[in-house]
Amino acid sequence: MIVVEHLHKVFGATVAVDELNLQVGRGEIFGLVGPDGAGKTTTLRLLCGALHPTPAAGQPSRIEIGGIDLLKHPEDARALLGYLAQRFSMYEDLTVLENLRFFAEVRGLKPAIWRARCMDILAFVGLDEFIHRRAGHLSGGMKQKLGLAAALVHQPKILLLDEPTTGVDPVTRQDFWQLIIRLVAEEQVAVLISTPYMDEAARCQRVGFMLQGRMLVEGTPDALRKRLEGQVVELRGQPLPRLRDLARQDEAVQDVHMFGDRIHLRVAPGQAEPVIGRLELAVRSAGLTLARLRPIPPQLEDVFMSLVEEK
């Protein structure tokens, strides 16, 4: 449903998107993951036609939406898209229903169609009891659900979601993802979602890690985690800063990162057990407290941090 080849975008001296290739199939959720400035938002804006690619010296950029060339037939391609921007973009002085009516009529839907469609969507996202509330008086999570409803009003085949759950509470995040999963299951919508949250990335069928405008790697969450299989060791104890410094001194420890009350060590292949043995002795000799030291399955955070270090 989405085919992107050699996508390139430059702002002045900054290369925001650099030779990006991407494909998303029907009924698939693809997660774009990366730090701020990685190029995720620019990529989504390029795919919805809000920005135009920058001509490059190599292969020309290609964007196909549902088999339609976006660069040659933008209006036909946009008819297949639903786009939820990172910032709330509804009219705050209008009610929930008035907002949906506006976006439905902009899409060319007639009253006989949009009225029933709007009520169905509002029931779907859980806003049917708030149709007369002004958008500006909605909570953050309800605003995001209204944005999703507006993106769905014309029954798009493809959804582009730009960090849709940033800044909302955990319960709302869970509700939002249940809506997305239902859409994919019931209507076979293709979803391209950018997210800073690794737990959300793990819900996607495929994930792509972006950095400095480039796609570092992509694959299923399981396949990506297997890149570091047997190379992650969890360290817990007190005080954490001294344990971290001690772990860094081991020559087989390639990287050290703190995750809340624990430390993840990325070690050289086949070196997990030797590192654990040496660290146990070093911690005792230093008089530090060791609560846990064990190999653990890699998390997506570990994979991403290793890719950043390699880059």
For the chain, how big is the Rg over CA atoms in Å? 23
Fill in the DSSP letter of residue 156.
-
| Structural domains of the chain ordered from first start | 2-224 (3.40.50.300), 228-310 (3.30.70.270)
* Predicted TM-score (pTM) of this structure: 0.88
How many CB atoms are closer than 10 A to CB 119? 14
Residue 2 pLDDT: 97
Residue 49 pLDDT: 93
Residue 308 pLDDT: 86
Residue 175 pLDDT: 84
Note down pLDDT in tens along the chain; length 311 residues. Answer: 999 999 999 999 999 999 999 999 999 999 999 988 899 999 999 999 999 999 877 788 999 999 999 999 999 999 999 999 888 788 999 999 999 999 888 888 888 888 888 888 888 888 889 999 999 999 888 888 898 888 888 889 999 999 988 877 788 788 888 888 988 998 899 999 999 888 899 999 999 999 999 999 999 999 999 999 999 999 999 999 999 999 999 999 999 999 889 999 999 999 999 999 999 999 999 999 999 999 999 999 999 999 888 87
Write the single-letter amino acid at 178.
Q
| 293, HSE (Cβ side, Cα atoms, 13 Å) | 22
